[in-house]
Chain A
Amino acid sequence: MDGIMDLVRRKSASIALIIGVFVFWELACLVGGISDIVLPRPTQIIASLIEYWPAIQPHAAQTLFTTLVGFAIGVVIGILFGVGIGSSRLAYDTAYPLLVGISSIPKVAVVPIFVLWFGAGTVPAILTAAIISIFPIVVNVATGIATVEPELEDVMKTLKASKWDILWNVSLPRSMPYFFASLKVAVTLAFVGSVVAETVASNRGIGNMMMVASSTFNVPLVFAGLFILAGLGVGLYALFSIAESRVTGWAHRKDLAVT
């Protein structure tokens, strides 16, 4: 009972905060007389969301599509590399510095290169989303696999377990909390990637729609695009959070440092 009350209290506090921010925003714009060319009020944004919905909807679908496809590619490649690097001490020590180096490059800087290679359109957006989401996944999966307790490994080895047995029965399940933690980060990053690529080099997607809207000074529509992005991002984050608590509930019973 206490737990439920506690949950309601915590949730209601954050909902109240969100509503409070919007109310403050609305009032500040009204009282301060801020022009809607500079900062539209939330009600105006919602109005334009409704007004332009038929035009927005295909762009939103396009962005969601490129993000998810890119993210899926990123997850597959990320898991493969993560398992490879995490399973071998040598690979871990060798590849980790390179990984850190690459992951500190702002990935959006590669958009022009993708455009050069594949032309403007969907492909650069997908690839940007993929490449931006790979690294957190690789690093986390590799960490999860490389940090299996040596005692546990000893027990498995005395059972004459093969590398594959150990990976399948111990390392992979063990790295799931790390993996899901990185999924939540990666999916939001994937949005950043696809939207930036759309902004720069595409005639479809929310990023492109916002570019066009801002060039015609339709500022409420620009903000409507932001709202859509926020909604999609939060939605996917929530989806993976739920999946996480389903799959890795065991991990939240004890302290587990997830980076």
Chain B
Amino acid sequence: MSLALAAVAPVHDDDAAAHKSGMSPLVSHTRPFIEFEKVSVRFGKGDRQVQALAETSLSIHEGDFVALVGPSGCGKSTLLKLVGDLLKPSTGHVFVGGRELGATPIRIGMAYQNSTLLPWLTIRDNVMLPLKIVPPFRSQFRAKRRGEFRDRAEALLAQVGLAGFGDKFPWQLSGGMMQRANLCRALVHEPDLLLLDEPFGALDQFTREELWQIMQELWMAKKTTVLLVTHDLREAAFLGNRICVMSARPGRILDDSPVSFARPRTIDMTYEPDFVALNQQLRRLIVEARGGTGIVQAGGH
């Protein structure tokens, strides 16, 4: 696997390297990469107003893998959208690289639960889409789409187990395969930050576990900063370096604790006592946050 990872490395072409080094002074090591300062979000106006996010402060350091869990509707996706600059906070500030959001040009990769692959493009062209848009790749796209970029897309696809599927169209793939391709698209432009909103939520358990492992390998190779929203506590504990538990709406961070299991983690580890204990602890927190007793009531989900 590590060989395959090395094959994708030609990323260090001049422009990309310049971009990275250009980043470094901005991301001082005293200040976190991403910082929420008393951020809150309200939707709507007047009586219909909904407080989606209560005053929240949160710091994420470069290379962190933060898993965000919490009851449904508590504002996890909202928090993700704030980081992606898709939403402006109603109060407070979001800082990226020590500067107000939007001031620091960072590259972001994003993947949602439902694959947002474009049905009229082949899988390979879908994966290459960010290269067509994000600088510095965009200026080279015409020249390199048949060579270097194509190879990069193929190498990524091979890494997630989709070798040979580059010429297929999304509708020729299963849900799990589409999600793999979706992940490739989120990674192809070497993002500084990866935003994942329940990316494995719609998959069966075995596919999901396989993708956890792939995700872990990818992360260990690149140490991209990741913010992962998930409903699956095992997933959070398997992938995360840190787990943030949010309260019911209006969401705020209830608990923020590191996950110290050694990497690479294996699926078997998730059934060991330490891991199970962590899961149970998380579960208790969320049950409390939902204001429930933990007894699942009919239709109570």
- The residues of A with any CB-CB pair to B shorter than 8 Å are 149, 151-152, 154-161, 165, 169-170, 173-174, 176, 248, 250-251, 253-254
Contact = CB atoms under 8 A, between A and B. Distances in A.
Nearest to A253: B171
7 contacts: A151-B116, A155-B112, A157-B85, A158-B109, A159-B134, A159-B189, A161-B133
B118 A165 contact: no
Contacts of B111: 155
A19 to B, nearest CB: 38
A250 B171 contact: yes
A158 B83 CA distance: 9
Interface in B161-205: 169, 171, 189, 195
Contact of A151 (B114, B129, B134, B189): B114
A155 B110 contact: yes
A154 B108 CA distance: 11
A149 B116 contact: yes
Interface residues of B, number: 24
Contact of A158 (B84, B118, B129, B132): B84
A238 to B, nearest CB: 23
Contacts, number: 58
A140 to B, nearest CB: 17
Given A154-B110, A159-B189, A161-B133, A253 B119 contact: yes
Interface string B125-159: 00001101110000000000000000000000000
B81 A160 contact: no
7 pairs of A and B residues whose beta carbons are closest in the complex: A158-B108, A152-B116, A253-B171, A158-B84, A158-B110, A250-B120, A151-B112
A210 B53 CA distance: 71
B86 interface: yes
Given A152-B118, A154-B81, A158-B85, 14 more contacts: A151-B114, A154-B86, A157-B84, A158-B108, A159-B134, A160-B105, A160-B133, A165-B133, A169-B118, A169-B133, A170-B118, A250-B169, A253-B171, A254-B119
Nearest to A247: B120
A152 B116 CA distance: 6
A155 B108 CA distance: 9
B292 to A, nearest CB: 30
Interface string B77-88: 000010011100
Contacts of A176: 120
Which among B81, B116, B132, B134 has the highest number of chain A CB atoms within 10 Å? B116
Given A169-B132, A170-B118, A253-B119, A159 B171 contact: no
A11 to B, nearest CB: 26
Contacts of B129: 169
A155 B186 CA distance: 9
B119 A251 contact: yes
Nearest to B186: A155
Interface string B15-37: 00000000000000000000000
Contact of A159 (B81, B108, B118, B169): B108
